[in-house]
Amino acid sequence: MKFVAGIDIGNATTEVAIAKIEDGNKIEFVSSGIVKTTGIKGTKQNIKGVIDSLNQALEKCSTDIENLGLIRINEAAPVIGDVAMETITETIITESTMIGHNPSTPGGIGTGVGITVDIEELESIKNNNTVIVIILKKVDFEYAAKTINKYLKKGVNIVGAIVQRDDGVLINNRLDKVIPIVDEVTLLEKVPLNMKAAVEVAPQGGVVEVLSNPYGIATVFNLNAEETKLVVPISRALIGNRSAVVIKTPKGDVQERRIPAGKINITGIRRTSVVDVEDGASKIMEVVKSTVSIEDIKGESGTNVGGMFERVRQVMSKLTNQDFQSIKIQDILAVDTFVPQKIVGGLAREFSLENAVGIAAMVKADKLQMQIIADELKNKLSVEVEIGGVEAEMAILGALTTPGSNKPLAILDMGAGSTDASIINKNGEISSVHLAGAGNMVTMLINSELGLNSFDLAEDIKRYPLAKVESLFHIRHEDGTVEFFEEHFDPSIFARTVILKEGNLIPINIEASIEKIKMIRKIAKEKVFVTHCIRALSIVSPTGSIRDIEFVVLVGGSSLDFQVPQLITDALSKYGVVAGQGNIRGLDGPRNAVATGINTRY
């Protein structure tokens, strides 16, 4: 009798299954372990996570490392996700500065067009001038209101105000005349003076109409057709806002800069195909699908997508000590998305949503690199270590330990970085595929489209249900049901959208509604998981048709997602396929499939 440990190094977690081997081939599984993967999958940094997960599993079965006869690890191909922009790096704006950050409490109502003047310099303004007053944070709201009223009585035509503090309503309530007031402008000191400006505040519940329309801006500033074309990014950024400001600046103040999206070169056995990122994700994936046996994928030099692929190679070269040129990319997943881009010339840190293509790239698995990890483990633990096999093939062997499963069978192994599919026939013959893109790609899309700048927050939005705090004692769940609580909530989360994570209410501090967050999350999961799973099953199907597959078992960490299994089950039901979550060894749910499968091949 001896103990064997199967180890699956994943992009997010490292999993262990320990089995007791008797009489040469009788296998009895005794425990499992799981920890967060250390470092990028397929690199020497993984070793700490492997040892931690192994110790966890050994402790569960009261066994020491000295009792292990063999450790078997998976072949690991790392996956790195990134975004290749279509409208690149800087929004194009010429001769304009804009503000449209949608403060929660602007003052007044209407549209005003005039020359920008500091409120403390109104004395120098002639009575027939039309002005927009600039009120910096050093100016008290009572003083500001009194000053505006004073000069209105003197005949100065004040038609709007831009305020640095959160004083819009306070000033408006003290004025003798209703004017549009935009407040909370962070960088107000940078607003150019004596320049023509337009200020617009919509009524409660409304949105700006003049400044969100490029022809409205053209009317205000007397622009020609070419100039109107250049202000389209400004008007797009202001769509849906309740307040906005546009200021015409001296020629040359804001420069135009472009970096092209670039082309992707996909090299197969027979030919190299070229596709432009600007053609979109569906065209990119069409070319990927039509390229037989991809050997490498590169981006056009000097472009955004070229830089992305080069970063992937640089990261992997540094981590694995391999030559930069020897790093080959074997698969990509491209998804259409949107990315908030900072507006050049913006004075309240404004952003505009620009079209983008999200790309996950998979580096070709390197057995030599995995052998380095195996040798390092052997030296550290004094236990024999070998490479156990391809993940997708091992996963299907692990999935067959699910109660009620049998050959023939197909599996979808959905992890953090990759989606694997494999199929086994009645004779035990296995066909498999290993594709880039899974849970991390979904998180990246949520992070980008909501402008969160927090991978951890985006991960929580992906994994947990949402709710709206409607009072200090009750919430409305995203499915519409209401839940009441005996203890009141922290007042800071009142009226906020929150994440329901392990009994805690975590606020999402962005302006997006719960409906928008739900929509972005669902669409991201459909773009990655549903589309990708159909692609993967089509590849491994003996006939190329999903309809010829009867049963599919869902395994991997992303199968634990509260939405993904249902989305995939619904999608596959249209093909007459029965799909459901696996339960490895009847104990671990959809987890531990690869680690278990490695041991079944002992």
Question: Is 352 annotated as belonging to a binding site?
Answer: no
Q: Is 13 annotated as a binding residue?
A: yes
* 425 three-state secondary structure: coil
Q: Which residues pair with 419 in a beta bridge?
A: 414, 435
Is 12 annotated as ligand-binding?
Answer: yes
Ligand-binding annotation for 72, yes or no, is no
- In sequence order, what are the residues at sequence separation of 6 or more whose Cβ sits closer than 8 angstroms to the Cβ of residue 594? 6, 8, 10, 15, 74, 391, 394, 395, 398, 413
Question: Is 242 assigned to a binding site?
Answer: no
85 with 306: CB under 8 angstroms?
no
Check the annotation: does 176 bind a ligand: no
471 annotated binding-site participant: no
Kindly state the helix (H) or strand (E) to which residue 131 belongs, with its residue range.
Answer: strand 130-135
| CA–CA dist 489, 494 (Å, integer) | 8
φ and ψ at 414, to 5 degrees? -110, 110
CA atoms within 13 A on the CB side of 569: 15
User: Is 460 labeled as ligand-binding?
Assistant: yes
* Integer Cα distance of 512 and 569 in angstroms: 29
Question: What pairing do the DSSP bridges indicate for beta strands 181-182 and 96-99?
Answer: unpaired
Q: CA angle, 564 as apex, 558 and 570 as ends, to 5°? A: 145
List C-alpha distances in Å: 22 to 1, 2, 18, 490: 5, 7, 13, 58
DSSP secondary structure letter of residue 372: H
The reply to whether 407 sits in an annotated binding site is no
CA distance 261 to 212: 26
How many other C-beta atoms lie within 10 A of the C-beta of residue 393? Answer: 23
> Annotation-wise, does 336 bind a ligand?
no
To the question of whether residue 389 is assigned a binding role by annotation, the answer is: no
The token pair that represents 74 in the structure block:
């998976």
Helix (H, G, I), strand (E, B) or coil at 129: coil
* Binding site, annotated residues: 11-13, 105, 166, 183, 459-462, 557-558, 591
* Binding site, annotated residues for Mg(2+): 105, 166, 183
* Binding site, annotated residues for ATP: 11-13, 459-462, 557-558, 591
